[in-house]
Structures are given as structure tokens and as C-alpha cells.
Amino acid sequence: MKPRILNLVYQALLIFTLTQQIYWPQEYKYMHLAVLVVRMLLTEMYQQDYRAFKMDYWFAPLIAITTIVSIIEKSAGIQLSMIYLVSLMAATYLLLRMIGNVIHDSKQPDVAEKMVPKHVEVLEKGRKFIFTIFYLMYATILVSMTYTFYVIIQLLIS
């Protein structure tokens, strides 16, 4: 996927998801919106040519599925929580991998080639602080993925 098209896809998904949250709010609140926003923030760290990951081919449709499922649940009154949660968990897993890629790329000697100058500048000022933020993001996403898995198990048991 070309980076400019990727940006347009994510901007359209953001508008679509915000609209869904306003008119057809999801029972599990804003989880898929938060996952999308974090991905968009990660995109902004990279130079234009390096913004697209192979995982985006799966990530964007998964976010679209969670949004569409939320609309169908609210408008048709059909219970589709399992589809929502499985799609959310898959998107969260891909986001974990993307954060891992950002951490890996930020540690490389050619970081200035892939990352935007502002990110490189911040890295040079405080590596420990930035990597602490990255690892806290990673841990938070991991906890949310674990919680999503827990909710799936609860739905299967009940």
C-alpha cells in the first residue's frame, strides 16, 4: 500500500469510526478507536516512504470490521460481540507487532533514514524516556489484548 493511500485510508477510517461512536456507540466503549489512533500516531513517526507496514493490509480491514459490527449491533439489534472482540483482538495483536517494529527501528543506527527528524531529535534528547513510553504503550496494549481475550472466554462460557 502506498503511504499516501495509507494515510487516506486511516483518515477515512478515523472519520468513519468517530461517526460510529457518535451515532452507534459500541458497548465496549472506544477500544477500537483507541487502537486506530495509536496506529495513526505510530505512522507519524516514520518518513513518508516507510509508513506502510505489511500488517496494514490486515489492520485497516479489522478496524473497519469492528466499526461495521458496532453499527449493525446498534441498528439491527443483533448480538455480534464475538465478531467484534475477535477482530479487536487481532487488530490489537497487529498493533503490538507494529509497536515492536517502532522500538526496533528506533534502536537502529540508520534511524534518521526511516524516522521523521522530530522523532530522531527527541530520541537524541532522551532515549530512556522515549523507550519507557514505547514499552509502557506496549504493556498497555498487551493488557488490553489480554482483557479482550478474557472477555471472549467469558462470552464462550456463559
Q: What is the pLDDT of residues 87-102, one digit of tens each?
A: 999 999 999 999 999 9
pLDDT at 66: 95
pLDDT at 25: 86
pLDDT at 52: 85
Euclidean distance between CA atoms 48 and 31, whole angstroms:
27
pLDDT at 126: 87
Residue 115, strand partner residues:
46
Spell 27-41 as b/e; 16+ CB within 10 A means b.
Answer: ebeebbbebbebbee
Low-confidence spans in the chain with pLDDT less than 50: none
pLDDT at 33: 93
Q: Are 1 and 54 in contact, with CB atoms under 8 Å apart? A: no
pLDDT at 28: 66
Euclidean distance between CA atoms 147 and 154, whole angstroms:
10
